[in-house]
Amino acid sequence: DFKQLVFSGVQPTGNLHLGNYLGAIQRFVALQDSYDCLYCVVDMHAITVWQDPVELKKQIREVTAAFIAAGIDPKRHIVFNQSQVSGHAELAWVFNCVARLGWLNRMTQFKEKAGKDRENASVGLYAYPSLMAADILLYRATHVPVGEDQKQHLELTRDIAQKFNNDFGPSIAAKGLGEVFFPLPEPLIGGPAARVMSLRDGAKKMSKSDPSDLSRINLTDDADTVASKIRKAKTDPEPLPSEAEGLKGRPEAENLVGIYAALGEVSKDKVLAEFGGGQFSTFKAALVDLAVAKLGPIGGEMKRLVAEPGHIDDILRDGAARARVLADATMSHVKDIVGF
């Protein structure tokens, strides 16, 4: 019987894009009415690859601004950055000792991010999934909204929680903490934009690290830029189908329809009931209007907020103080359970 709690994080590692918005941030906003939520700027994850310190500080504020601009309420919920709550690092170490090498060896994101020069990747990049497990379980969160790309890491989080509960079962019981100490958190993955693809290549996910700026829509892009990126987005020569079923094998069309559906908060079938049989140019013009209407105010508000860094820092400080109360309670039990 765990309290229903949402935790999720976004890395401060560069331009936030439409994939981050639709796969994560827009859903964070929607969950606020049904759960207590913690939304974290995961700066300790960011440094698993080299970050310029001045740039990192700026990006931490920018992600915080995006959370607030998108509609997350930092008074009702907790918005903070990871490095300000020491429990993340402490619990990650315990989890490094619970997780098995074989489990981490199977993580596909490490293989992608490390590339060919694996010997030269940081140890932190390899151990990233234990830190992610710590982020979630430090609050004993029960639900984690993420994009499809994080599914494997969430499964590892559940494996770590389960192994901790088993390995320390007698100790947990002896401390009067019940039968299981950590919940097995549920991923909240789904909807039409669980995996937003590059606008230039329907086989690649939209990503901060794609060298082509035309591949993604950034939250701070102005209306003209959004319009031109959507107009240049890759499509195929067929007209749009009249049902979502007809999008199979047409990744670029499926991606654009999924983006429209997610932005408009309707189903793909609904979108195709309107645009099916028509040309891409008509659909793209409507998509531009919708994207500009939805993202324009968020980008504008982000710019206004980052111009007031003191205000953002206050929000983060207050969030960290509140997160720390929850984190310290968990850590004091964990230390007791482990025998520290």
- Minimum CB distance to Na ion, residue 149 (Å): 5
Closer residue to ligand ADP (CB): 130 or 150:
150
- Minimum CB distance to ligand ADP, residue 209 (Å): 7
Is 159 annotated as a binding-site member? no
Q: Which of 151, 163, 204, 208 is catalytic?
A: 208
Is 162 annotated as a binding-site member? no
Is 119 annotated as a binding-site member? no
Closer residue to ligand ADP (CB): 154 or 288:
154
Closer residue to ligand ADP (CB): 61 or 205:
205
Question: Interaction with Na ion in 148-167: which residues (CB under 5 A)?
Answer: 149
* Residues making contact with ligand ADP (CB under 6 A): 10-11, 13, 19-20, 23-24, 146-147, 149-150, 194-196, 205-208
> Are the C-beta atoms of residues 14 and 209 closer than 8 Å to each other?
yes
> For every residue of 158-224, which 3-state class applies, written as one string?
HHHHHHHHHHCHHHHHHCCCCCCCCCCCEEECCCCCCCCECCCCCCCECCCCCCCHHHCCECCCCHH
Instruction: Give the number of residues in contact with Na ion, rule: CB under 5 A.
Output: 1
Question: Interaction with Na ion in 124-153: which residues (CB under 5 A)?
Answer: 149
Any catalytic annotation for residue 270?
no
Burial degree of 33 (CB within 10 A; 0-12, 13-18, 19+):
exposed
C-alpha to C-alpha distance for 337 and 241, rounded to whole angstroms: 57
Is 202 annotated as a binding-site member? no
Q: Tokens 């359970």 correspond to what residue?
A: 337
Q: Which of 57, 113, 151, 204 is catalytic?
A: 113
Closer residue to ligand ADP (CB): 13 or 235:
13
Closest by Cα among 57, 22, 15, 60 to 41: 60
Any catalytic annotation for residue 113?
yes
- Minimum CB distance to ligand ADP, residue 240 (Å): 21
Q: Tokens 């939209």 correspond to what residue?
A: 206
Closer residue to ligand ADP (CB): 78 or 194:
194
Any catalytic annotation for residue 294?
no
Q: Residue 163 binds what, of Na ion, ligand ADP, none (CB under 5 to 8 Å, by partner type)?
A: none
Q: Which helix (H) or strand (E) holds 290?
A: helix 280-306
Is 207 annotated as a binding-site member? yes
Instruction: Please report, to the nearest 10 degrees, the dihedral formed by the alpha carbons of residues 269, 271, 274, 279 taken in order.
Output: -110
- Beta strand residue intervals within the chain, DSSP E: 5-10, 36-41, 78-81, 143-145, 186-188
- The token duo for 283 is 């659909």
- The token duo for 98 is 């619970």
- Minimum CB distance to Na ion, residue 153 (Å): 9
- Binding-site members for ATP are 11-13, 19-20, 147-149, 196, 205-209
Which residues make up the interface to Na ion (CB under 5 A)?
A: 149
- Binding-site members are 11-13, 19-20, 135, 147-149, 196, 205-209
Positions marked active-site: 113, 205, 208
